[in-house]
Amino acid sequence: MSRVFRHGGYPTFWTADTVSMFGSYVTTVALPVVAIGTLGASDTEVGLINGARWVPYLLFGLLAGVVADRYRRRPILVGADLVRAALLGLLAALAVTGALRIAGLVAFVIVFGALSLLYEAAHQSYLPRLVPPAALTAANARMEQSGSVAQTTGPFLGGSLVAALGAPLALLVDAVSYLVSGLLLATIRRPEPAPERHDRHLGRELREGLAWVYRHPVLAPYAITLHVRFLMASMTSTVFTLFVLRGLNPGLPGDRAAFGLGVVLAVGGLGALVGNSLSGLVGRYGIGRSILLERFGEPVGWIVAALAGAGVGGWILVGAAQFLVWAALGVSGPNEMGYRQAVTPDYLQGRMNATIRSLNWGMFTVGAPVGGLLAQHLGYRPAIWVGVAGLLAGAVAAALSPLRHARHPEPVPDGARRGAEGSPPATADRDR
């Protein structure tokens, strides 16, 4: 574990990411409480708010990848963090003064999502400039492990802050975390050369990123089935939040329900930590197998959630559901990211990540509102079952594709990968 921290700049990068994630999990609890408790949003409106954050991913995701490949990535990370800190401070002030409305919250979420999109395109593409290809899986695992600790304690902290101070003031904790993250990233002194400026053409650059992902023998089925997974997971997670806050124990006061949601999400963080700890062991048996374990394991967790009833037993089941879902995600996450980064040359890192992530998170623009509608018109448990069916269909499709044979490739010199525009690397044959 300690070896990866020997690479210059990585310890600071890891610290900034960890601080930011702690704050983000506070907002995970606080934002729906602002919508429901402060603004009185309906189930459908909550779904629209959840989906609004991902509209920029669907509309501008590919463009963000081009930006991350055209410019130095560290300044993008610093700027996005500092502006997001200011926006969260403004949102908290509007909520406290009673000036916030549903339309304003939706607008805020869209702008915040655009900044997060740009940040994430640069973030995942900056890591390969700090550590060599052989260390990428370990570097991603360390970051996901710290993220799992944040996920374990952050929602609990968020639920406690919401109960004690109210949701608007709890948002200020996340604002401070973005501020600290931005300042830490600004201190990294690892040289980052400016990207080459020749032959720039937006249309061609967009096509290169798309071709790299969707013509690759393994990345293509991986990405397509992952898009399906995100669509169904966005529906199910939206319904799950509403179910815990409103449907599990309908008579429970809002502040106590928010605290309960924080505890449940914290249990999910424990699951992610366990999964991350096992990711290296599972990855030895093949990247494809670790991904399939997640694809089939996640719906099992949501099935447990659908079986939860009222009372203490219900809270135990929704906590167990989050543990199972996040344990499956924790096993797969570092292996997935390490594979994607290792098979992609540096000049395509931003576009590869943005191509996959923009459509992944863009699925929330559809899935989250649909989840809210299903919850309002079918009920919480039937809506969860719809999501489970979709997740299982995507898992079967992934299992029948070349993805099941994917293994981490041997390092290949970047120049050797640039032979044909958008073509897969020389090591891709072993993944068929």
Tens digits of residue pLDDT in 227-247: 999 999 989 998 998 888 887
Phi, psi of 292 (to 5 degrees): -65, -35
Q: Where are the domains of the chain?
A: 2-187+201-431
Q: Which pLDDT belongs to residue 164?
A: 78
Is the pTM higher than 0.85? The answer reads no
Q: Which pLDDT belongs to residue 226?
A: 93
**271 and 330 in contact (C-beta within 8 Å)?**
yes
Residues 103-148 have pLDDT tens digits of: 899 999 899 988 988 898 888 778 878 888 777 777 877 887 787 7
Instruction: Give the residue ranges of the chain where pLDDT is below 70.
Output: 1-2, 151, 194-200, 251-255, 408-432
Distances (CA, A) of 172 to 5, 65, 75, 164, 425: 30, 30, 24, 14, 45
Q: Which pLDDT belongs to residue 397?
A: 94
Q: Which pLDDT belongs to residue 253?
A: 64
Distances (CA, A) of 244 to 57, 69, 285, 314: 27, 41, 37, 10
Q: Which pLDDT belongs to residue 357?
A: 80
- How many Cα atoms occupy the beta-carbon half-sphere of 133 within 13 Å? 16
**CATH superfamily, region 2-187+201-431:** MFS general substrate transporter like domains (1.20.1250.20)
- CA nearest neighbour of 136 among 409, 417, 395, 330: 409
Q: Which pLDDT belongs to residue 83?
A: 95
Q: Which pLDDT belongs to residue 136?
A: 77
**115 and 60 in contact (C-beta within 8 Å)?**
no
